Structure 1
Amino acid sequence: MNDQDVSLYQSVLQGDRQALEQLYDKYEKLLFSFAYRMTGRKELAEEAVQDVFLKLWTKKGLYDSTKGKFSSWLLTITRNASIDLLRKNKQTLQMAEVPEALASQEPGVEELVEWKEEGARLREAMSELGEEQKAIVDLFYFQAMSQQSIADVCQIPLGTVKGRIRLALQHLRKHLLGREGMKQ
């Protein structure tokens, strides 16, 4: 976990605008790229990033360091903001490729390498899930469907959807944490 990010975040909670600017400078490109991949539209991605930093400033979401990395928390807020904007605009999610014109908005080499490594570990862990769990995780996390929508589409009870997601996440967490222990 980046202690500097947490320190800046704590300063933002105290009303420090400079700390907010530093977090914005550090994460804006990453969050924009992520939001753009979800929405496929520059203006929606920009609005999602704006929503994220507005939530930070107005303290509408509080970061809990015991639940994960600060950057992961920001990406989750960005994901939720993007989904909200898409729903508001009545569009479907699409994982679009970032056009060349926006190449300057792409994350840095270090971030791309980290994403690829994490993506490979996640794909490996996902390959060990049962087909039903894979399908539910894909619909929930990658297609951004609500649990109720998944239950309706798959014609299974809502409790079954929730259970499969919970079990899949437990399996993924166990697999990924096991890999982290091997690296150390």
Structure 2
Amino acid sequence: MSDRDLQLYHRVLDGDKQALEEIYDKYEKLLFSFAYKTCGQKEMAEEILQEVFIKLWTQRATYDESKGKFSSWIMTITRYTSIDTVRKKENHNYSLEEERDTLHQEEPSAEDLAEWREQGELIRKAIKKLSKDQSKIIRLFYFKGLTQQEIANKCDLSLGTVKGRIRLALKHLRKELSNIKEKGGVRDA
């Protein structure tokens, strides 16, 4: 985690709204694009993003720097919030009017789409470098939103094996993403 992220996080814990705004400005596009990829709806992705920052501000989610990077932690909070929100929405019956409103939502901007495509391309490129087993589990866990136990059941694996493959895959992804970025990103592929 960068020293700046840590400083901002501690300022947020002290009630500094400006620090929260700085974290929001830094991570908003990445978190929104991740939430949008999970739910496929702009309005729901905005709701998820808002919920993530409410959790941060109200300290319902607390970061422990000994367990990893701030960016990984906030992405994990976004992932779980996205999954929870999608599951809640799936369990509610929508009125016809709400369904019509969903169909006519404003599309993301061209700038957002370009950034999401570039980020997605980097991630897809890194995932291709994983073993077939790791790739499958990462896709089920992060993109399909399955729990580790659901993956174990679906793939006929032990829960420990699933956890180990996820951990190893994330380690490989971090290394591969940093290699890709050092080489100049997608264009060097």
TM-score (norm: length of structure 2):
0.69
The residue number in structure 2 matching 1:166 is 167
- Structure 2: gaps of 5 or more residues: 92-103, 184-189
8 Å contact from structure 1 (residues 32, 105) kept in 2: no
8 Å contact from structure 1 (residues 32, 46) kept in 2: yes
8 Å contact from structure 1 (residues 29, 105) kept in 2: no
CA distance in 2, matches of 1:24, 1:87: 25
- Structure 1: gaps of 5 or more residues: 92-98
Count matched residues. Answer: 171
Q: CA 1:6 to 1:138, structure 2 compared with 1: closer, same or farther past 3 Å?
A: same
> What does 1:17-32 correspond to in 2, within 5 Å?
17-32=17-32
8 Å contact from structure 1 (residues 30, 107) kept in 2: no
1:54 aligns with 2:58: no
TM-score (norm: length of structure 1):
0.71
CA distances 1:127-182 after superposition (whole Å, capped 9, x unpaired) = 333322221121112211111111222223323322322333343345456x3797
Aligned-partner residue type, residue 47 of structure 1: E
CA distance in 1, matches of 2:137, 2:166: 7
CA distance in 1, matches of 2:76, 2:112: 17
Secondary structure of 1:62's counterpart equals: coil
The residue number in structure 2 matching 1:157 is 158
Aligned-partner residue type, residue 137 of structure 2: I
Task: Report the Cα offset of residue 100 of structure 1.
Answer: 9.3
Moved over 6 A (4+): none
CA distance in 2, matches of 1:47, 1:163: 32
CA distances 1:86-125 after superposition (whole Å, capped 9, x unpaired) = 122237xxxxxxx99333495497xx39x737843x4444
Percent identity, aligned pairs only?
A: 52
